[in-house]
Amino acid sequence: MQKGQVTEFRHEAKRVPESEAASRVPCVTILGGGYAGAATAIKLLDAATRPLRIVIVEPRGELGRGAAYSTREAGHLMNGPAKLFSLYPERPEHFAQFLARFAAEWNWRDPLAPDFLNAFAPRAVFGDYVRAELARAVSRAAPLVSLEHVAAEATDLRRRGGRVELGLSSGHALIADHVVLAVGAVPSRPDIPIDPAVAASPRYIADPWTLEAFERIPRTGRVLLLGTGLTMLDALVTLERRGFAGRYTAISRRGLLVHPRREVVPLRDFLAEAPLPTTARGLLRAARQELSRTTHGRPDWQSLVMAIRPHVPALWQRASEAERARFVRHLRPIWETSLHRAPPRSAQLLERGRAEGWFAHRAARIVALEPAADGRIAARVRGRGRADNETLIVDAVVNCTGVAHDWSRAQSPLMASLLATGAVRPGPLAFGIDADWQHAAIGRDGLPAPDLSAIGHPLRGVRWESSTLVELLQQAIQLGNRLTGQLLAADPGRVVAATAG
Ligand SMILES: Cc1cc2nc3c(=O)[nH]c(=O)nc-3n(C[C@H](O)[C@H](O)[C@H](O)COP(=O)(O)OP(=O)(O)OC[C@H]3O[C@@H](n4cnc5c(N)ncnc54)[C@H](O)[C@@H]3O)c2cc1C
C-alpha cells in the first residue's frame, strides 16, 4: 500500500483469502465510515505502535462523510463555529486552518464571522477535512499499521474460533478480532399513514438530503415541511437556493422552532458543586437557584444549556427508568431545540421568511397524507389542542423528522440480525443498544462483549447525548486507546510473529 492512501477494496472484487483469516496481525473492523468510524480509525492509526489492520466497512464511496457531511449543498452549514470541530483537542485551531485554506482557494467567507475560528463552515468542507486527515493518519502510521475501505454493507456477525466473522451484502465474509459499531442513527420515517400514491410521488421527498429530489418539485405554490428543527432548516435552505418562490408551512407536534445559535459566555459549572440531581425537577430547581444568584442581569438561557450539557451522560445514568421516560415524554423536544441550534446565517433566512410572511410554523399533528387534484397532496392536520381535522392542499411535502434510534424499527439487516442473535440488546427505552461505559456492547447475556464495541448514535440510550462531533471525538479517542491497549498488548507473541512475517 502507498503511504497516505486508503486502500479501497470493492467487495464485489474481493474474496477474503484463507491466509487472511489466519493472519497474525490483529484486525479491528469498523462498521460505518461516517465521522464516528473515520475518527475512530484516525485515533487507532495514531495510537497503534505495533502492527494493526484496520478495516472500515462502508457502502458510501467516500469515508468520513456519513449522513451529515455527504451533502454537496454549500448552504448546508455546520451548527457550530470551526473552533469546536478540530480532530485534535490539543490543536483547536486545526479545522479552522483547513477552512482558511479552502476559503482562500474558493473565495469563500462567512459574512457574519470575524475570523475562521468563529466561522460556520459548509458541512461538505468538514467532510473534506475528515477525509484529508484520514489519509494523513495513514501516512504517518507506524509500520504495518494499515487501513482498508471495504465498500459494502455489513449484514450479520458470527463468533467463530475466538474471532468474529462478518457477513457482507455481497455474500462475502470478513474476519476480525474486534468489531466497532459506528453505524449512526436510523433514518426517521414520519409515523403517519401516507397513501402509497403520495409516497411514490416525486412531490413527496422522504430523504431531505437527496438534493436531486428537490429539482422535481414545482418552483411555486406551498410546501409542507414535516418538522421544525435543523433538518427543516436544511430543506428550507435547499429550496431557497434552488429558486423556490412559494410559501412554506412547517409543522411539528409542539411547534418548537429551531433557535439561532448565539456566542455566549458559559455559566459557571454550578452542577459540579453538589451531588447531581436525579430528577428533571431537581435539575430545574438547581438551574433556577443558579439564575437567581446571578447579579448582573439575567444570563442568556443558551449559557445555561452549555453548563448543563457536559453533565448530561451522568445525569441520565443516575436517573431512574421512570424518570428517563418522563423526560422523553415531556421535556425532550424542549431540550433538543435548546441544544441543537441553527447556524446564524440559516437562522437569518428563517427570520426573513417569517418577517416577510412566506414562512409559517405551527403546532399540529399530521393525521394522513393523501393524493389531491392535479398531482397535489392533501395533508389532514389536527392543530394542537383541537378535536377536528383540517385539510391543507400543498404542492409538495418534505419529511424533515430527522433521525431515530430504535433498532427494532430500522430497515437494517445488520441491526435486525444483531438483535435477533442476542449479540446486542436494546438500550434504555429502546434508544440504540446497551453498552458499558468503555463502549463494550452488552448482549442478551448481560455481559460486556470483549470483541464488540459501539460509538456515537448507538449509545443514545446509555448516554443520552452521543451524537455531536464533540462527543464523538472524545469517544473515538477513548475507544482508540482502549482497543490498541487491548489488542496490541494482549498477545505480544502474535505481534512479534506479524512483524517478522
Ligand atoms: C444533517 C445533519 C447535520 C449535522 N450537523 C452537525 C453539526 O454541524 N455538528 C455536529 O456536531 N453534529 C452534527 N450532526 C450530528 C451527527 O450525528 C454527527 O456530527 C456525525 O456526523 C455522526 O456520525 P456517525 O458516523 O455516527 O453517523 P453517520 O454519519 O450516520 O455515519 C454512519 C455510517 O454508517 C454506515 N452504515 C450504516 N449501516 C451500516 C452497515 N450495516 N454496514 C456498513 N456501514 C453501515 C452508513 O452508510 C453511514 O455512512 C448532524 C447530523 C445530521 C444528520
Q: From atom 15 of ligand 1, which residue's Cα is the shortest distance away?
A: 468
Residue 289: its pLDDT value, please? Answer: 86
Q: Which three cell numbers stand for residue 251?
A: 409543522
Just give the CATH number of 196-259+341-401. 3.50.50.60
Q: Kindly give the number of the ligand 1 atom that is closest to the alpha carbon of 32.
A: 34
Q: Which three cell numbers stand for residue 172?
A: 462475502
Q: From ligand 1's centre to the CA of 208, what distance in Å?
A: 14
Please give the Cα distance from 461 to 126 (Å, whole number): 27
Among 9, 56, 58, 238, say which to mutate for ligand 1: greatest number of ligand atoms within 8 Å of CB.
58
DSSP string, 399-436: E---EE--GGGS--HHHHHHHHHTSS-B-GGGSSB-B-
Q: Is 480 in the pocket of ligand 1 (CB under 6 A)?
A: no
Residue 304: pLDDT band (50, 70, 90) is confident
- pLDDT, tens digit (0-9, with 9 covering 90-100), for 450-496: 999 999 999 999 999 999 999 999 999 999 999 999 999 755 444 43
Please determine, for residue 498, whether its predicted confidence score (pLDDT) is greater than 50: no
Domain segments of the chain as ranges: 6-73+129-187+405-496, 77-121, 196-259+341-401, 276-332
Q: Is 34 in the pocket of ligand 1 (CB under 6 A)?
A: yes
**Out of 3.20.20.450, 3.60.15.10, 3.50.50.60, 3.40.50.1260, which CATH number does the structure's domain 6-73+129-187+405-496 have?**
3.50.50.60
Q: From atom 45 of ligand 1, which residue's Cα is the shortest distance away?
A: 32
> What is the β-pairing status of strands 178-181 and 27-31?
parallel
Please determine, for residue 499, whether its predicted confidence score (pLDDT) is greater than 80: no
Average per-residue pLDDT for the chain? 91
| 161 vs 11, more confident | 161
- pLDDT, tens digit (0-9, with 9 covering 90-100), for 151-194: 999 999 999 989 999 999 989 999 999 999 999 998 777 888 99
Among 72, 164, 183, 401, say which to mutate for ligand 1: greatest number of ligand atoms within 8 Å of CB.
183
pTM passes above 0.85: yes
Q: From ligand 1's centre to the CA of 36, what distance in Å?
A: 7
> What is the β-pairing status of strands 222-226 and 390-394?
unpaired
Q: From ligand 1's centre to the CA of 85, what distance in Å?
A: 15
Average pLDDT of the residues in 245-257: 95
Q: Are 41 and 180 in contact (CB under 8 A)?
A: no
Average pLDDT of the residues in 17-30: 71
Q: Kindly give the number of the ligand 1 atom that is closest to the alpha carbon of 85.
A: 11
| Intrachain domains 6-73+129-187+405-496 and 196-259+341-401 with the same fold | yes
Q: From atom 12 of ligand 1, which residue's Cα is the shortest distance away?
A: 468
Q: From atom 37 of ligand 1, which residue's Cα is the shortest distance away?
A: 183
- pLDDT, tens digit (0-9, with 9 covering 90-100), for 385-395: 888 999 999 99
Residue 494: its pLDDT value, please? Answer: 45
Residue 305: its pLDDT value, please? Answer: 87
Residue 288: pLDDT band (50, 70, 90) is confident
Q: From ligand 1's centre to the CA of 35, what distance in Å?
A: 6
Residue 500: its pLDDT value, please? Answer: 35
Residue 417: its pLDDT value, please? Answer: 97
